[in-house]
Structure 1
């Protein structure tokens, strides 16, 4: 298969040849081609290093089938699932159970192992883990928080097995208990104070350095947290919701804007965006955490935390590139090249000879409004309702089209990237 006259993220025009799932040539190849990509952007498939596809245990929120379809429709070809399912992915048996559900995925996948008081590291590390995460003293999920000694033990064991630890960095000791007397939409952000993030980042990085274990900070939401990670030599991610939404949006979002970490001030959001643009932030990942409308339609203290995002990440970032606030190369690095490098996926993340033919084709002249009813997650809503995004015409996994805007989805062909 040959894709002709495509515009690549660096602005050059090239033909791309694909054989047996691999990119075999890139350049001015001449001759005939199967796909005319003149005037369109050919992008490497994105890697979302932080999703919650909810199975096993919570398939009414999302399934591996619907979650992976949502990913493919947004140009994402690899996802990494987090451990807070039921049962949590803290044992080898639980890993195997989740992997059986992941066989329904139409995109490639990895599974993060979790750490609890009753985890089984011997059986867990015997499995092809992507990483440990999201792990820390603070608790993003209701039942996955751990004490300092256990965190240190997990980091030490991960280092011995050459496994990265993905950290949820909030120090619950610094939460503002006075905010619990409020019931407005901003109370959650007031409660989980911004100061709690940088302190936890620093502590996590100190433990990582002690055991020479790679630390990756999940969903960094403050400029102070980003800077603390960078100063310590850790990698970090920022989510689209922390990049494009702030506490100013909470009057409209209500409890649909509750997540962990919470939305921050507009001033902090702008500062985080600056760090995404200038290269301080390593990657963008979604923390795709869907809940049903009925579940989110509760009080600020009873609504579950989390928002969907796997389908809208790349479209939102490409719209920023289209407007000129980010370059297309920077978007490529944030969602493809850097995640591949950080998490040791040498055959993914770039359009080069020898790489997996994970590709997506975009017409950057045709952005459209994001509507929850048009997306493919089980939950059926989005916090980005009405914002503009550039969506793919088609998405390809190892040379096979898994999403076509006209013809729909392909077959489940996703594989564990660690096998």
Structure 2
């Protein structure tokens, strides 16, 4: 079925009729004639945006379906206006071989959104078979990072970047230099558990200085290899500045844009993530860089864990928070308040992502583009509640924050979220296939 949106307000303020047909945007004009097959939606000057592209999610399959699945994660995505996601490689097994890629791709058939699958790098990776697959990017590559099995040394990192450059594949880097972590923070920790822990110790331990140093190393290696480097989840203004100076693109997460170390006590281990929360001053400076255009995209690093897993000691609890369903609603709520423009929200959640990662039919409302669309009423905000969200983990670090949620989400011209429920059968496709 084709769809005609009457009097939709675009991010730049223009009011247009937008018609979809055969999964694409067929017309964008001041007035579009109605086709007998059209389902007509009176937008009544509500905001129509391109579907958001979340370039950094962990949907946990294979290996950890107690936390999330492709079904639950993608349902959470469409309920938040996200129509394309990129899944990261640190699953079990990690996506570092062609066989592991194939296993994940078979599970992704349950997705309600389009998707890309990132390959990863470990000492056991198999670049020949991995690059033979429809790979989205090489990432999340852990440079000098203490995250266990996915960490690699400088020599392997340089080799991986060179191979990615030869294959014309973007390299997404998790930039934290473990040599600059503050080991004395462990000694200062009183050893509390759960919400009683001094969660701010995690931010002290993974020091802010470790980020910019790793970004500088990553962009230097990328420059030598002629590779496109993208810095994941930059959490400090210094990290952003290092990326800009080095010619790399970068992303920021909602939790680093909206939360700071001042929230650590309330969040407890639910606020433990990598990189950690930073000072309120750094958070504010990060937001200003987003508004100014220094940060290219917003991506969630959606990394859900169960409550039971999070209710552990600070040094034992897993790192990560959910966010795919709340990214766009949080940004739209700030746009409603005048803190960021709707055009900027469109760019950092869709247009810029499509440009950086070469998705020529996504990210904009133009004739010929995929009909991935989100209709929202900017004046209709509500409090975010974990119980209302669709992620399998059932909680959010943004409890009580205001969000502007979709009235309607379309993927490929089909309604996948009607404002109350996720609808339709899973039909997401690999955007590189």
TM-score by length of 2: 0.96
Determine the C-alpha separation between the residues in 2 that align with 1:231 and 1:165.
Answer: 17
Determine the C-alpha separation between the residues in 2 that align with 1:162 and 1:27.
Answer: 37
**Against the structure 1 CA distance between its residues 158 and 13, is the aligned structure 2 distance closer, same or farther, given a 3 Å change threshold?**
same
Q: Indicate the SS of the match to 1:34.
A: strand
Unaligned runs of 5+ in 1: none
For residue 140 of structure 1, report the CA deviation from its aligned partner.
6.3
Determine the C-alpha separation between the residues in 2 that align with 1:30 and 1:282.
Answer: 34
State whether structure 2 residue 86 is matched by structure 1 residue 80: yes
Of 112, 130, 136, which aligns to 2:136? 130
For residue 409 of structure 1, report the CA deviation from its aligned partner.
2.3
CA RMSD of aligned residues (A): 0.9
The CA deviation string for residues 63-84 of structure 1, in whole angstroms up to 9 with x for no partner, is 0000000000000000000000
- Equivalent positions of 1:207-246 (< 5 A) are 207-246=221-260
State whether structure 2 residue 80 is matched by structure 1 residue 66: no
Q: Indicate the SS of the match to 1:291.
A: coil
Determine the C-alpha separation between the residues in 1 that align with 2:280 and 2:31.
Answer: 48
Of 57, 63, 80, which aligns to 1:57? 63
Determine the C-alpha separation between the residues in 1 that align with 2:58 and 2:261.
Answer: 24
For residue 114 of structure 1, report the CA deviation from its aligned partner.
0.5
- Equivalent positions of 1:42-191 (< 5 A) are 42-139=48-145, 141-181=147-187, 182=189, 183=191, 184-191=198-205
TM-score by length of 1: 0.99
State whether structure 2 residue 389 is matched by structure 1 residue 394: no
Determine the C-alpha separation between the residues in 1 that align with 2:366 and 2:291.
Answer: 24
Of 323, 335, 353, which aligns to 2:337? 323
State whether structure 2 residue 215 is matched by structure 1 residue 198: no
User: Bigger CA drift: 27-36 or 113-122?
Assistant: 27-36
Q: Indicate the SS of the match to 1:409.
A: coil
Q: Indicate the SS of the match to 1:2.
A: strand
Determine the C-alpha separation between the residues in 2 that align with 1:139 and 1:310.
Answer: 24
Of 333, 336, 346, which aligns to 2:360? 346
State whether structure 2 residue 307 is matched by structure 1 residue 293: yes
User: Bigger CA drift: 293-302 or 178-187?
Assistant: 178-187
Determine the C-alpha separation between the residues in 2 that align with 1:408 and 1:342.
Answer: 29
Aligned to 1:14: 16
2:96–2:130: 8 Å Cα contact kept in structure 1? yes
1:84–1:141: 8 Å Cα contact kept in structure 2? no
Aligned to 1:4: 6
Aligned to 1:273: 287
2:67–2:392: 8 Å Cα contact kept in structure 1? yes
2:376–2:404: 8 Å Cα contact kept in structure 1? yes
Pairs aligned (count)? 419
